Amino acid sequence: VDDGGGGYLGGADGRDYMILYGLVTLPPIIICDEGAYDSLFDTTITSAKTITAERAYDAVGTLYSRFICLGITCDEVGDSIFLRDSIDTNPGISWPTCQDPIMDLKQEYQGNFPLNSQERFLEFLKVDLDVRVIGTLVEMGAETAAYDAYRWGMHSTESIGGNSAPMGAESALDLFSMESAAELSYHPDNTVGQSFLQYFSGTTTADGNFAQSQTLKALMGQDEFLVATLTQRRIVAESIMVMTTMHAYAIDSMYQAVESCMAGLTESNAFWDRGVASLSGWAQEDDHANGILLMGVARFLCEEDGACEGPGDISPVNDLLMEALIEGKSSLMNGECYVAKSQIVDAEKLLVTMLVDLVALFAEKIAADTTDADNLVEGYGAAVALIPLMQPIAPNAAVDIKSNMGTFPNETTTFSKDDVFDALRIFVTTAQIDCTLLTREICEGAQPWPDDDDDDDEDWDFPTLSPVVLNPTDETLGIDEDYAASNNRPMCGHGIFGGVPSSVTKTEASVPLLDGAYVPTSNVDHIVRLTESLSEIAKSSSMLAARQFYEQIEDGVSLECLSTGPRWVQITSTNPLYVIFMYGLWTGDGGDEDGDGYSNKMFDDKEILNYGDTIVNDEFRKSSGFDSQLFADTIRIMNMWMATITELYQAASNCRYGYVDESSEGFNRVDFAAAFWFGSEQDADSTEGWSLYSWAKKAEEEYIGQSAGVNDGIIDLLGNMQRAFNDCRALSDGEQETRGIKMKGMADEIARMMTVPLVQHFIHNLAEESGMATEESDERNRMVLYALGVLPFISICDEDSYDFLYYDLVSRIDSYNSSDFTDHIETIYSRLECLGITCDMVGESILASENWPKCKPPSATTEIAGYSPTTDASLQMLKFDLDIGTILAFIVMEANNAALDIYENGRNVKDDYSYTYVPLNDVKEPQDYPESSEVYQAFTNPTNSDVDYTLVTKNAIMGKEAFLWSSPLQNSAAASLAIATIDMHLSMLDDMRGAIINCRSGGNWADNWDSAVAAMVGWTVDAIKDDQVTGVDDYLLFQLAEELCVEFETCGDEGLSPINIRIIGQFMVGRERMTSLSCDEAEYSVTAIEKDLQATLVDNLAYHTKLAVSDQADTHCLMAYVAMNALVPLMRSINETSAKTIEDHVVASAIDCVVDDVEAVYQALNEHVIAKGIDCALLGSSVCDGTSTTVDLENNSEYTPNIDDADGKYTIFSGEYEPMTNVERLHGVSTVVNAICDADDKEVAKNTYLTDETAGLSIKSMSISAKYAMTDELQYNQYVYALQDSVDKTDGSLYFDGNPAGDYANTISSDALDTSLLLGCSSVKALNIWMWTVHKLNDAITACKDPVTPVTGELDEAAALWDGGLLFDMAEQLGPKFGQVQVDSMTLLNRNIVDRLNKAQGIILKSDNKCDNIAVHDLRIIVKETVSYMTAVLIQSFIDSMLGESPIREKQEMVELMSFAVLPHIKACGHEAASEKLYNDLVGGGFEERMSSDTLSVLQSHYNCLGLSCGEIGRHTAASSAHPLCTDNHDIAGYTPINATKTNMLAKLDLDVVAIHQMMSMEKSEVAKRIYLEGHNYYDYDNQADYSFVSLHNLTQSHTIEYTDFEMYRLYSEHLGEDFGNSLVIDAMDRQGIFRETTAAQRDLAVNVAISSIVSYMSALEALYLSVSVCESNQSESATAFDGAVALLIGSIEGRGLGGNIYQEGRMFYSIGKRTCNHFRTCRGGDAEANVELFSALKEGQDFIQQGDCYELADIAETINAVLKVPLMQSLLYFSDKTILEQSDDDAAGYVATMAVYPILADIDPIPANTIKSNMEDFRQSPMDSEALEDTVHGALSDVFSNPKTSTILDCLLVTNLDEICSPDETPDNGNPNGPVYIKPEIPVSPEEPMPISNGLYVATNYVGDRSAISLDVQEIRERMKAKKFKRAKEYYNEGENSKIYDENGIPTGELRSIAGFSTESSVTMRSDPTYNHQISQR
């Protein structure tokens, strides 16, 4: 500034310094106030020469006011001495005073956070700066920086979990972030947030978290925003953050304020201020800056319309809004909480008014110019914020808004402003919005909004969302995070041997309970207090107070600890009910039941062990709001009830195992159970207290006709148990075990009594919810609660009934149908036996009417599969299958000891002694009947053998011997089969022989005879009515015969096994003979039954041996082994040689299971059948033929040539295809399909489907025979994999909709035919015939591979099926609907199919019907492409089912059908999450119109995977702008390859990995191996001359790529051998070598890790270094090879968008980092930090190739090589983590991960490398516990990273942040803290030497002298500039001088870092830095 004397106030250089510091200071200001930035830039830089004092004054004032944009304060800057002095020397000059912004808003709103910290309100006002920063970074193309700002925040220290927030405390520096706001668990009253969640829960976006998902996609340019401009992405991101995220967050904060107010907490003002700040932001209250939050929207609207009012240009809407906010704040301060709550409703109404106005404004703008892309996306942002709020009130109007403005990309051809305004008008009218506040002309003659004192506003609200008990959104509500996160909270205690701990504060015995009804000898005050806490919870009006009572721990016990305290091993060993509950909840809709029996055992995404706490928290957070009574009731039922049971079983266990001897005198564990039951209740008649006693008493009052009072029985039994426990101390070990087992029986009895009130309350609440109560009430949540408390019992004995009830009463609660009440009650009554209780124990509800079903107790005369018993002996025997069901469930839950205890001691079949049972282990033993003893002897002590065949049951239960390596599910299946075919079979034989002996002696034969029937059939098969079995699946021989007849297709006309029919008939005959005392004749019945039972055993062994060989399945092998143990002892006495043959060829051991000669087994069985005289007519297997070969259903051997006749040769496709063979009969399938489609009724159609064999086979048989004909075909097995929905724990088989999953087509088509003719017609074409056509194409390939047998009619059959099966016609009908014109007389898809069939025929004919390798390859490609086009027809039909014109019900049915046909293809593409989401929506929930857009988007994203393009599918003519446009894009996770076509094909190699995983998980290891060896998805399109399939196996062979001249290949070959990767995969697939004793699940994961960590890794490196090697000679080849490296690293499953698949479903190397980064907290921008670095390097490499810069390409290749080592290291760390080591599924994969990185480690230091290797490869022996192994690996890795050589290879901190690895405990001497600033390093330097900086003010932990020396360059430049040696100064600047770069050993490399380099390299190094992007944004 001119000083008035010709100079400048700041001296001669003042102007230049002003420009310099302006350039480095001003850029961040543009983010929050572009006007202020422009003004300052012009004054200080552009017009610097003409600056005046007045302008300088203004500039300083503006700068002061914008310190907030820089994140600084006036105090931090201070008062300028220069400015102060200039005033003194120049009186005419004055300067403004710096003042920080005040915390109050202009419109009289005053923020007053507590603790007298006025800055805090201002801090949160700065949230709008984050929105601006994120938007700016997006527009700059700095996606990662934008994501970081979104995730971590930048400006506001008022974080959701921060110290300054009222919700939690970690650090005052915690930043508020948009992501944390988006992830908030909304307050139940926050209808805005709940509406967003509810509306978007039906989309495919991140489980309904639309705000977060859509913002991230806009930030990263993914999915629909892949084609958006940077500006459009900024608009979308800002719009969603402002109008959705912060909108919902603001309302939530206000409701939190109200709740705090009601709780009397001071935080209420803070919450309210936070909400206000979320709507306003800082800029809104500044006179010059433009606000961006919702209040800024209102101001923008009024400015657009010129309707702003007053001196501050206030928006009328904002004016009213501020009045509501001010009044709400005032109400809070006065304690008027509900008044404040009403103000929230007013405020929300005004906010919605803004959104309506904004949508209308942009509708006008779009109508004016439909080409303005920015207006389109602005309208989209406003629409998606408004639509969810419209949906509950005006759903049709919401649909109109969505179709016109609510999709992106926008399609303007159908846009209608009138439609938009009409929709808004409807909404405005319905919602009663004040039209006078709208700036757009929406309303017609609308009346103004009523006055404030009018009560009408109460009528306007969003509908209350239905209560949801499951699926919570967060672990805890924000309101109590302070309490939950407190480090001072005590921990839950444990008893010495489990259960609740003893009191540590009191030791004297507590006072008598229940007024003396029970007198404890222990101190149980800490347990009694829990009832008092429960009572306080029930009275709480505050959620926080209730929560504190729940969590409050005293003496190691709290209500919460009752669920979170139990430990797995202890609870599963002692409390069987706990295991039953876990099993039921795990297998229900809320669980994560895993097909192989393994998983993390989760319920509702939480650990299943803590299921009670999970349900309690679900209730606490339910959307219908806090209900203290229900909260307390939930705790009582879920936690206290089970804790009582646990203490009872603990008492029994303490006695049984002698732990009682170690307890203190007077201690009695039974007292604890009594304390839980009685609590603090002293009034025996009370029903109102919160004890379990009062609860049971209340239930008792609601029922009549009970046989006994529950409480009375419990009191007596508790007393008996207490005495038994006390007496246990004096007993011997053996006596203690006997007493303990008896006490366990007593605990069982008490548990049954305690179950009675559970059931009573359940029925009562179910009746009330169903409208049966006299008074109106809504007991829905209690119905859910008691359903969760009762139904798990039923899961053990009847999973179908359990699933039915769980679905209706829990999962589908929002649509509960009270008309189903009768069905529900009947089902519950019929399954009381599962709960161990009876009808008379429950009684009759006082609500019951004559229309209620009656509870009927089991009767001795109840039929057993058609047999009528004459005694009650069968009733007890029938209950054995309850024991079996429990045992099997326990095995699957890995509670093996508990399972064995039930097997050895029983649980459900009571004996003649009190509180003991008849165990399964005993029933097989003979009862002194000679013939029975001989049979038993044959099993337990056979001649010429020392084998006890009966031990197979125990071994299977415990997972020992032959079952040591198998999975829990396999062991469950084996145990089930062993119990049925050995234990219960021997029991049957014994009972039948006993009946004959008793008949002859005049004794009671009927008990034995009836028991034998029951032992065969079981309880859960109710009867045979009209020749059909009713009831549910059972576990015994009867059910086994039923399953076998289904498998062999030998069931009778009514679906019954002929074996069962004959055996039941013989039981009836035998009964009649013994009734007439014809005992000798009755013995004939026994002989006949024994023989027929063996028919089942023969078929069973034949079935499993055959599949064990054909499927190479471990499960079938193990089942064959069990079947051998069940039959061989019976064979020995007849034919020793045959028995030995079978025993020699069906072998299982602790390391293997082998069936090595199925033909020998079948021949031996044939000999036994003949010798035993078994009727071959009963057998379904081909044993009687002496061979395992079944008759060929398709009669392929009977192909005859297609010869000329009078009309010429037979042709297909209107003469376009001329078959080689005569397929006229099969082509006649058209008559069958037409007969089905044109049938008069469904029965006729169904009969045609089942029986019509006009084509040589029925349509049904195309499905039923598939499991044999297609057992090794990938497509069929992928359908089975995708559709299977359960696993049978009795045999391990997969099921779909209650039927074998392999019969899926028959299951679906049968159901479809039962529904409608149209649906059935479509189903047989889309499922049965479609897959059979694929099968025929596969047959053609198989025949082509056979070098001996010529190819005959397989291809012709495929053509005949496509045409005759009317699939050709189906495609013709669909084509026009997708805008496809005729191509040579047929649609595009048919043309493609027919042309390829002809081409395939040409390949076969050319090779004279005998294919060479080239012909095989060519045919495989043709078949694959043909199947792709066949799939396209299914996709078109799927889309047509959604968009076609049909009634909604028909549309839903057809969409469901086509989902079955299409979704398996999505899952085959590796996207299980998308497939499951669509399946749940379209099949589970039912199609709704709104789902079509999202569904279509998912389908389109999979076209490329399926070998299709957008053009080949077409766009449906009914598609509108609401439906996404389809684009073909071959990018790979954001990388755009140069040769897109070829790279795209190579990337699809990961689809082979998906297929391998799916096949291995199904135990189809041979199919998996074939895919690995031969390939399936990748073949070269570009080189037609020699294209062929390339397999993963090929990539492991050096001759495939033929480039091995690089260091990593040599390193791996040296340490592992050239073929190690391949050997590893093959060994895992074949279960050999180190994988010999591993489970299928372990090998599956091991193969996946081997492919991603070794195959993908090494093949990508080969391609990478090949690219470098040919760069100079062949740029095109170099580019192709480089693209190939990217494809091999990332694959296709990651998708097109930057960062790849959000569900971490990738299968190649890139996926390793994504799966481990969360574990190590190294994720960046939603991806692994290493992947971000990798992607950056890959893009650079591609650029260098295009620039021809081969030198730089070589460098970047080494960078990539270095980065790739990071995920390998992380993978090792992951698998050596103790939490992962405890999951046995991961053991083998941990070994693979170790070997994948071992060469790198060994090259650095072989000693720690070998330590890691030796420990990780011993996973089978488990040499040390998980924690010790983790410590060993970490210690070894620490040695590796301490090695100086490591720093040149990889950065430890990029791998992990574990100090124990990267920063070992040994820290060097810190040196002199007062040392010099700059150290001239000697040669060499010590890289790890700490170094003081600034005279010791900061001590760097490693040597940084080379970096700090850069300041010497600054000094040199300054000196050269002073000497006017500008050239030399510039050299210092550009080249550097003093800052040397050292290698890992401290030796100078000769390179220097320079100051210029900090800038020139910034585009790479600072790509993710928001500050850097701020600086360049102004440019």
- CB contact set of 82 (below 8 Å; sequence gap of 6+): 10
Residue type, position 1715, single letter: R
pLDDT (tens digit, 9 = 90+) per residue, 1196-1223?
445 777 676 666 788 999 999 999 999 9
pLDDT at 1915 over 90: no
Question: What is the token pair recorded at 587?
Answer: 């297998």
CB 1393 within 8 Å of CB 1530 = no
Q: What is the DSSP letter of 941?
A: S
Q: What is the pLDDT of residue 484?
A: 30
pLDDT category at 446 given cuts 50, 70, 90 is: very low
Give dist(CA 1301, CA 1142) in Å, integer: 30
pLDDT at 293 over 70: yes
pLDDT at 1874 over 70: no
Residues 776-801, mean pLDDT to the nearest whole number = 83
pLDDT category at 587 given cuts 50, 70, 90 is: confident
pLDDT (tens digit, 9 = 90+) per residue, 1285-1296?
888 777 778 889
pLDDT at 1836 over 50: yes
Q: What is the pLDDT of residue 1680?
A: 93
Q: What is the pLDDT of residue 117?
A: 43
Kindly give the residue spans of alpha helices, DSSP state H, lying in 1691-1805.
Answer: 1710-1720, 1729-1747, 1750-1775, 1778-1781, 1787-1804
Q: What is the pLDDT of residue 453?
A: 36
CB 1141 within 8 Å of CB 1164 = yes
pLDDT (tens digit, 9 = 90+) per residue, 693-703?
999 999 999 99
Q: What is the pLDDT of residue 201?
A: 65
Give dist(CA 1027, CA 1652) in Å, integer: 55
Q: What is the pLDDT of residue 1754?
A: 93
Give dist(CA 32, CA 1209) in Å, integer: 81
Give dist(CA 52, CA 38) in Å, integer: 17
Which of 308-322, 758-772, 1326-1340 has maximum average pLDDT? 1326-1340
Q: What is the pLDDT of residue 496?
A: 58
Pairing of strands 1898-1900, 1891-1893: antiparallel
Q: What is the pLDDT of residue 865?
A: 82
pLDDT (tens digit, 9 = 90+) per residue, 1652-1682?
999 999 999 999 999 999 999 999 999 999 9
Show the 3-state SS of 49-78: HHCCHHHHHHHHHHHHHCHHHHCCCHHHHC
pLDDT (tens digit, 9 = 90+) per residue, 1369-1378?
999 999 999 9
Q: Give the residue among 121, 111, 148 at the shortest CA–CA distance from 133.
A: 148
pLDDT category at 182 given cuts 50, 70, 90 is: confident
pLDDT (tens digit, 9 = 90+) per residue, 1579-1619?
865 444 444 678 999 999 876 667 889 999 999 999 999 88
Give dist(CA 1397, CA 1359) in Å, integer: 7
**What is the percentage of the chain residues whose pLDDT exceeds 70?**
87
pLDDT category at 1871 given cuts 50, 70, 90 is: very low
pLDDT at 113 over 50: no
pLDDT category at 403 given cuts 50, 70, 90 is: confident
Q: What is the pLDDT of residue 1049?
A: 81
pLDDT category at 5 given cuts 50, 70, 90 is: low
pLDDT at 150 over 60: yes
Question: What is the token pair recorded at 316?
Answer: 């009328």
Kindly give the residue spans of alpha helices, DSSP state H, lying in 201-293.
Answer: 210-220, 230-240, 246-262, 268-280
Residues 781-789, mean pLDDT to the nearest whole number = 91
Residues 760-773, mean pLDDT to the nearest whole number = 81
Torsion angle in degrees (nearest 10) through CA of 1728, 1731, 1732, 1735: -160
CA 449 to chain centre: 48
Q: What is the DSSP string of 315-349?
A: -HHHHHHHHHHHHHHHHHHTT-HHHHHHHHHHHHH
pLDDT (tens digit, 9 = 90+) per residue, 340-359?
888 898 899 999 999 999 99
Give dist(CA 106, CA 103) in Å, integer: 10
Which helix (DSSP H) or strand (DSSP E) does residue 1949 occupy? Answer: strand 1948-1952
Q: What is the pLDDT of residue 1439?
A: 97
pLDDT (tens digit, 9 = 90+) per residue, 718-734?
999 999 999 999 999 99
CB 1205 within 8 Å of CB 1180 = no
Q: What is the DSSP letter of 293?
A: S
pLDDT at 1022 over 70: no
Which one is predicted more confidently, 10 or 1762? 1762
